[in-house]
Amino acid sequence: MSSIRRAELVVSIVALVMGVAGAIVARNLSFTEPTGELVLSFGPSFNLLGALIMIALAALALAGALLGRHGLVLASAGGFLLIAIQVLLQFGRSTNWLGTRGSNLAFALGLGAGLGALVLTERGRL
């Protein structure tokens, strides 16, 4: 297993843990509550929909990393970048579908750019 593939696994697991933590703290909120619940009282916030989307994208990236499928990891990276765009467009509004806030922008952008860079770097080595 290459170091790039191991890095994809680590990034995917971090995203999965954050999504599960988000689902746990948002369990008492409505599905699309505009003001999400903070994970561990700091950092990203999620409502239940946002946490489930985070879990799904992280699972997709984890499966892609485990199976060596670059397309799955790249699709997950694109999904995280879409979350970052959603944060920019809806933060502080009453229609905040994922219950996100500013720290989610950095988290989602880091996941998307990181996974995308890892996939494209590995592809360049082949």
Residue-wise pLDDT for 33-63, tens only, equals 878 888 877 788 999 999 999 999 999 999 9
Domain that holds residue 102: 3-125
Task: Note the pTM of the prediction, 2 decimals.
Answer: 0.91
pLDDT digits (tens, 9 = 90+) for 78-100: 999 999 999 999 887 788 888 88
Q: How many other CB atoms sit within 10 Å of the CB of residue 17?
A: 14
Name the H helices within the chain. Answer: 3-25, 48-67, 70-90, 102-125
**Residue 18 near residue 39 (C-beta atoms within 8 A):** yes
Domain count, the chain: 1
